[in-house]
Amino acid sequence: MRHPSPSGFDGPAGFDALVVGAGPAGSAAAFALAKAGMSVLIVERGPYPGSKNVYGGVVYGRILDQIDPLWWQSVPVQRWVVRRSTMVLTSSQSVSFDVRSQAWGGPPHNGMTVYRADFDSWLADKAVAEGARLVCSTVATGLLRDGNGRVCGVRTDRPGGELHAKVVIAADGVNSFLAKSAGLHRDVSTSHFTLGVKEVLDMEPEMIESRFGLSAREGLDIEALGATGGIPGGGFLYTNHDSVSVGVVVALDGLAASKRRPEELVAAFKAHPSIAPYLRHTTLREYSAHLIPEGGYDSMPDLVADGLLVAGDAAGMTLAAGLWLEGVNFAVGAGLAAGRAAARAIEAGDTTARGLGGYRRELETSFVLADHLRLRRAPALVLSDRVQGVYNKVLCDLAEQMFTVGNPAPKPGLLSLARRSMRTHGLKLRHVAKDGLEAARTFR
């Protein structure tokens, strides 16, 4: 990679396209633009791609087929996820639904754990190999506009740091400064965000494989409901090569109202009797926190303006639908679509919002917006009071009663046990009917 010197920019001040942010969305956009023959510069505020990026889960690689058909041969993978476990907790109980597929462990693979510093640098390298330029340690401080009000570049914190382009792609992360500056956010509410908090704990590879029932290079992803002390959210644990990542994701409003510190929630999750045995004799390597846009489709900003496109976390493209917790693959998909749409608009000589409108049309026909639109009800349902604080208790109690063998007597029926558990936790049949209907509408 070629990094211009800190004193200023070497080379031209004008480009076909500027991409702000070298995360998955930005690097994918730059890759598509460079592949189409456009001159493109990526501006990254960190010292290298991925240096400031945090995530708490699995990267799903199918979208990478569009960048490199054999991406799994070079991607800096930690482990290939062959087990996915969904865990429902109370303070002393757990019920798990565990899925394992050995097919996921071989090409073309399903999901993988990665370190974002490695993965983001790998993806940026793909863009640079196609001809994109990358400049790091540079902050975009504002948008430039021409006499007609069209975005025509960015202002940076470097001397002489005004950069001009026909199209700017804002991939500057959650709470995007550029999207806000362009007036694309209609309603920014704290209710649309969660906070992800993660610890990376050192663990020998052999110990990981023994404790989690894995073979070399195989990985496990655990997602847990009921792990956040009554605050809407969830817990997670996943395996890397020689470490495990464990943490929680909690609603920002709920965290503030609870007056609890995020690290307290992580500590409580680590101490849960269903989690603690996995984490014996580990040492802390890293602690990090990250704001996550989880408002879904209805909280997304406008994605297109004259001379400007928005992609990835900057556009709120994180799918938090309970069953599916994804973000990086949506960022890559949106970035590729943004790069292709920008290239077409530049070639046609029309970089107005209308000329760039192919971006949204492509997203609507791809999984990026199609999935968000279909699951637009999911965030409200998943973070609702009953899903977060009642159903977990009912399910755990029901499972415990089913497998408790008491005094010799006829076993009660399943329906009788379910009613007993519902009464104990104040769950009415009408609540189940209402939530069941909502779930059917959401996941249809």
pLDDT tens per residue across span 224-268: 999 999 999 999 999 999 999 999 999 999 999 999 999 999 999
Q: Average of pLDDT values for 44-54?
A: 90
Give which of 242, 226, 234, 241 is closest to 198, Cα–Cα: 234
Q: Which two tokens stand for residue 325?
A: 């917790």
Average pLDDT, the chain: 93
pLDDT of residue 406: 80
pLDDT of residue 197: 95
pLDDT at 6 over 50: no
Give which of 348, 356, 338 is closest to 32, Cα–Cα: 338
Domain ranges for the chain, please list them. 14-56+115-186+301-376, 77-114+188-297, 380-442
pLDDT of residue 2: 40
Question: In whole angstroms, what separates CA 409 from the centre of its chain?
Answer: 50
pLDDT of residue 321: 79
Architecture of the domain spanning 14-56+115-186+301-376: 3-Layer(bba) Sandwich (3.50)
Alpha helices (runs of H) in 146-295, residue ranges in sequence order: 177-181, 205-212, 252-258, 262-270
pLDDT of residue 106: 95
pLDDT of residue 9: 55
pLDDT tens per residue across span 144-163: 999 999 999 999 999 888 99
pLDDT of residue 3: 41
Q: Are 40 and 30 in contact (CB under 8 A)?
A: yes
**Domain spanning 77-114+188-297, CATH class:** alpha beta
Residue 164 DSSP SS3: strand
pLDDT of residue 215: 96
pLDDT of residue 10: 54
Weakest-pLDDT range from 21-35, 93-107, 313-327, 428-442: 313-327
pLDDT of residue 313: 95
Q: Are 248 and 265 in contact (CB under 8 A)?
A: yes
pLDDT tens per residue across span 291-326: 999 888 999 999 999 999 999 999 999 988 777 889
Strands (E), 10-161: 14-20, 40-43, 59-60, 77-89, 94-100, 111-114, 133-135, 140-145, 151-156
